[in-house]
Amino acid sequence: MTGFGDRYRASVDARGRLCAGIDPHTELLEAWGLSVDADGLGRFADICIEALGPAAAVIKPQVAFFEAFGSAGFAVLERVITGCREAGALVLADAKRGDIGSTMAAYAQSWLGESSPLVSDAVTVSPYLGFGSLAPAVDAARAGGRGVFVLARTSNPEGAQVQLADADGRTVGQRIVDDAAAVNADGSATVGVVVGATRAHGLDLSALRGPILSPGLGAQGATAADLPEVFADADSSWLLPASSRGVLRAGPDVAAVRAAFEQARDEIESAL
């Protein structure tokens, strides 16, 4: 079984280091001239699949924006996941799941289990019930050559209240990174972390040996030029900057969305 790290490396080597977010905000649906309902969501999704599926190394659908449309929204999300994977992209489901015991195991099966209609290449998870509570997701990911991305130092300012709190001489965020690094000691790179690009993060990422999803480009104010400074001490080959609205605002034309993605990706590669 090929580990997630090998699959991730192969994808970014071929397609570059930019994670394309698919975030069907109401404002984007309206800006694209689409109805704010399941039909509009479906058309939005189809444009994104066609524009980004063949171009992006990693595509990150934001689950909440699909979930808002109920079962019809989940049906569209299934189409996004399948379509993007068939086009050669890795799919990172941005679900931010976190729970304990059998409930966490059920979340792991939903997003990482081979038989699930929502199965993705990786999923975002929240460690704030304790890093150990994520064990079912980590185990499922490792077994299937998939990954989990754990929230460590997020791009929103409110996160500092928890993530910068002292935990036995380390910040909570640093403990999460260290726990992720311990899992990755086997060389699988099963566990990535989420570290925002919008500010200095104060983390030591040198031992992680796994992907660093870095949201905040575009709409949240970070630029490609900020990345070398914000992540000066990290291995940039593992860095995966993410942009959603910054790319999607170019729609609804498929060629325009892809061109916006390619421009952002090339700026990142030049900066790094």
Active site residues: 96
Instruction: Name the strand (E) or helix (H) holding 90.
Output: strand 90-97
Q: Amino acid identity, residue 38?
A: A
Q: Alpha carbon of 230 to those of 152, 234, 243: distances in Å?
A: 15, 9, 16
> Residue 248: phi, psi to the nearest 5?
-70, -20
Q: Pairing mode, if any, of strands 122-125 and 19-22?
A: unpaired
Round to whole Å and give the CA distance between 97 and 105. Answer: 11
Q: List residues bridging with 199 in a β-sheet.
A: none
Q: Pairing mode, if any, of strands 19-22 and 58-61?
A: parallel
